[in-house]
Structure 1
Amino acid sequence: MYHDIVLHNGVTMPAVGFGTWMLKGEPGKQAILDALAVGYLLIDTAHMYDNEAIVGQAVAESGLEREEVFITTKLCRTRAGYELARQGIEESLARLQTDYIDLLLIHEPYDKALDMYRALTEAYRKGQVRAIGISNFNAKQYLDFIGSCDIIPMVNQVECHIYYRRKELQQTLMSKGTQMQAWSPFTEGKKPIFQEPVLQAIGRQYGKTAAQVALRYLVQQGISVVPKSSHRERMKENLDIFDVTLTARDIARIQQLETGKTLFGWYDD
């Protein structure tokens, strides 16, 4: 249904995934089932979200084969360390009701991130994980990190949206073989992105919404995205971005919105 991104180890990852931050309980599970039903094949969760179990349940109940769904999860501070990370991987596998994870990330640049990554690397070599990576690392942290890694991270998932495009970070990652993935492509409500006049005007040319233009802008530049929505119609809309190509002029107009500043205070680029 939609395009894939090929990671440096040959694993293919959907360009548009479904984010599950804040989804809990039965309503959360239903939202994930809805996402799978409308065509999402990448579901993004994390230890920190405390919802891996409902992701596992939804995938099991979806009627899809396990290998059709790409599951991403992340280990957080409570699993910072080699043994703790090993334990965390087993916990995730159990909660997700699966014998492998498609993409496993270290959620933040913890002091013990390299020890954690050793456990991820082992799990990758054993086939418990198909791809490994990091999240929320800025360029300096990333370059320091890969200086001590056996395996270059396949993905760095970071804050990225029209106001904070992070092109230099993407170029640094790409030069070493790491794919940039965007969390918060809609800014999690910190900016009125759906009312952004530039996006609305560009969208009108193509019969698309501001939200669709915001996602297409990133995906067209090789950044995979994990938007979140609890509304089935919006879920469909967020997938329906591959029948248009933004022009160089469109992209230049959107680039005028760039602030170079994080909206979440995670980064010091």
Structure 2
Amino acid sequence: MEYLVLNNGIKMPMEGIGTFLLSPDEAEQSVLNALKTGYRLIDTANAYVNEKAVGRAIKKSGITREDIFLETKIWPSFYEQEDAIEKTLERLDTDYIDLLLIHQPAGNYIAGYRLMEKYYKEGKIKAIGLSNFNKEQIQEILDICEVEPAILQTEVHPYNQEKELKEFLDKYGIAIQAWYPLGHGDKTLLEEPVFNKLAKKYKKSTAQIILRWHIQNGTIVIPGSKNPDHIRDNFYLFDFSLTDEEMSEINSLNQDKRYYTSTPELLDSYVKMVPPVDEQK
């Protein structure tokens, strides 16, 4: 495993398991499989409605809590609830969260950020960050924050490399974390000739080549899967390195192509949507 030191000195694994779109049963089993394989970073969210399952998997794994980097996200409809983070801790059955993010730039996200800062100062959160924020929205947070964000989680993959955004984040030491690191499973991306060529050279899958490219670019990845074979294969990224020329070849694939596009209407709908967190198994 390789690690990245965040701007507040916290060490974070470069790869983890994502639990987006996984049912509680699927999330519990996937996290158990991932921890058994060697993963130590787990990503979940209020909106995934599987935090309790993630907490159970951590307990069942037998791995010391301090050896696991647990990340979750607050949903917009909870930003103004003073007990939102306390309830998140209860669902995860943990005394602290390693990284907590504002999930969407919707509603009163300033109130949500202030709440995260409060819990950060109390030591119940080790690092805080943002998810799906653009440059202007990040700057708004930087202009008012007492604790700078350590992470931006957003859509990054070879077709959408966010080079300008990364340059901006680098000025503040904000690390970037990719969801959809494999381009939402786009076969066109996965079957790019360069990936097929490098897969044969290194005896890896095209997915492993793409994930390795991310890591060498300093991007933290959280590929999600409920397939034990994929979970295992996605972890074996640290026994080879791409050359500078190969990295450049992949860098040239950028198309600024996104699979998720935010709109004001969509963000408004997020504020009104209340995930059934109290009903989860």
Taking structure 2 as the reference length, the TM-score comes to 0.90
- Partner Cα separation in structure 1 for residue 182 and residue 143 of structure 2: 33
The residue number in structure 1 matching 2:242 is 246
Of the three residues 147, 152, 176, the one matched with 1:156 is 152
- Secondary structure of residue in 1 paired with 2:153: strand
* Counterpart code for 1:164: N
The residue number in structure 2 matching 1:110 is 106
- Partner Cα separation in structure 2 for residue 137 and residue 243 of structure 1: 33
- Secondary structure of residue in 2 paired with 1:128: coil
| 1:70-90 Cα shifts (integer Å, max 9, x gaps) | 110000111122xx1x32101
- Partner Cα separation in structure 1 for residue 50 and residue 186 of structure 2: 23
* Counterpart code for 2:137: Q
- Partner Cα separation in structure 1 for residue 123 and residue 224 of structure 2: 29
| 1:133-168 Cα shifts (integer Å, max 9, x gaps) | 111111121112211111110101000011101111
- Residue 258 of structure 1 and its aligned partner are, at CA, apart by 0.9
- Residue 267 of structure 1 and its aligned partner are, at CA, apart by 7.8
The residue number in structure 1 matching 2:7 is 8
- Partner Cα separation in structure 2 for residue 87 and residue 191 of structure 1: 43
The answer to whether the 8 A contact 2:130-2:151 is kept is: yes
- Partner Cα separation in structure 2 for residue 124 and residue 207 of structure 1: 43
Quickly say closer, same or farther: Cα 1:191–1:144, change in 2 above 3 A.
farther
Taking structure 1 as the reference length, the TM-score comes to 0.94
Moved more, 220-229 or 136-145: 136-145
The answer to whether the 8 A contact 2:14-2:215 is kept is: yes
Quickly say closer, same or farther: Cα 1:191–1:159, change in 2 above 3 A.
farther
Q: Which runs of 4+ in 1 moved over 4 A?
A: none
- Residue 191 of structure 1 and its aligned partner are, at CA, apart by 4.6
The gaps in structure 2 that reach 5 residues or longer are: 265-281
Quickly say closer, same or farther: Cα 1:56–1:217, change in 2 above 3 A.
same
How big is the alpha-carbon RMSD for the aligned residues of Structure 1 and Structure 2?
1.5
The residue number in structure 1 matching 2:44 is 45
Report % sequence identity.
38
Of the three residues 254, 258, 261, the one matched with 1:258 is 254
* Counterpart code for 1:59: I
The gaps in structure 1 that reach 5 residues or longer are: none
2:189 is the counterpart of 1:185: no
Moved more, 243-252 or 215-224: 243-252
- Partner Cα separation in structure 2 for residue 120 and residue 78 of structure 1: 15
- Partner Cα separation in structure 1 for residue 92 and residue 21 of structure 2: 17
- Residue 27 of structure 1 and its aligned partner are, at CA, apart by 3.2
2:217 is the counterpart of 1:221: yes
Moved more, 257-266 or 101-110: 257-266
- Residue 202 of structure 1 and its aligned partner are, at CA, apart by 1.4
Counterparts of residues 1-269 of structure 1 (less than 5 Å): 2-81=1-80, 84=81, 86-266=82-262
- Secondary structure of residue in 1 paired with 2:190: helix
- Secondary structure of residue in 2 paired with 1:189: coil
- Residue 190 of structure 1 and its aligned partner are, at CA, apart by 4.1
The answer to whether the 8 A contact 1:193-1:210 is kept is: no
- Secondary structure of residue in 1 paired with 2:144: coil
- Partner Cα separation in structure 1 for residue 118 and residue 127 of structure 2: 11
* Counterpart code for 2:53: I
- Partner Cα separation in structure 1 for residue 138 and residue 223 of structure 2: 24
State the structure with bigger RCO (CA 8 A, min sep 6), 1 or 2. 2
- Residue 109 of structure 1 and its aligned partner are, at CA, apart by 1.1
Quickly say closer, same or farther: Cα 1:267–1:193, change in 2 above 3 A.
farther
- Secondary structure of residue in 1 paired with 2:238: coil
